[in-house]
Amino acid sequence: MSIHIPKLLIATHNPGKRAEFQRLLTALPSEITDLSAVGIRTDVEETGDTYHDNALLKAHAYAQQSGMWTLADDSGLEVLALDNRPGVYTARYAGKDTTYAEKWALLFSELAGKQGEERAARFRCVLALVSPAGEAWLFEGVCDGQIATAPAGVNGFGYDPIFYLPELACTMAELPLSDKDFYSHRGQACQKLINWLARP
């Protein structure tokens, strides 16, 4: 039988992620809330070596604090020519408090001289769903593309303006949000979660 979740806590302080999850999870018959709405101000340090580890760390910690069903994600950008860096360190790439413009600039410098498929990259997302009792389930989504040579587009957030989708001839940030939600790593992971919750 399917699992009914009356209220789901999204474990993020990131306003871009929060807005994206609100869109991606509209098919769920659940009230969607977030950390700020339930008064949780603490941060959970991402000390894991993998996306799975970090997503589970956050989901378990916030489920314990809130007593609610909790959904956490860990996502990253993997650049093949850089041995899949920055990976789990994507948010801290170029330093913890650097701007995304500075992170993009570092990527561009590391890929100087490389063209086309030499700039191959992927976005990866792992979602961890944890129940108030501590049960856990994982869902993963991947989106393949390339690192652009310059930022373009105003939709999305983070690395979206420099993540180029060759088959669509645009960056993730140039897509309408409905299209981005379909193609993105987080969109794919959320769809797997929705399908799993609705299974007979």
- Residues marked active site are found at 74
Longest dimension (CA), the chain: 54
Residue 142 CA to residue 121 CA, distance in Å, equals: 10
| CB-CB contact of 74 with 61 (8 Å) | no
| CB-CB contact of 189 with 126 (8 Å) | yes
Q: Which long-range contacts (CB under 8 A, 24 or more apart) does 145-153 make?
A: 145/120, 145/121, 145/172, 146/116, 146/117, 146/119, 146/120, 146/121, 147/79, 147/107, 147/108, 147/111, 147/119, 147/121, 148/119, 149/108, 149/119, 150/108, 151/101, 151/104
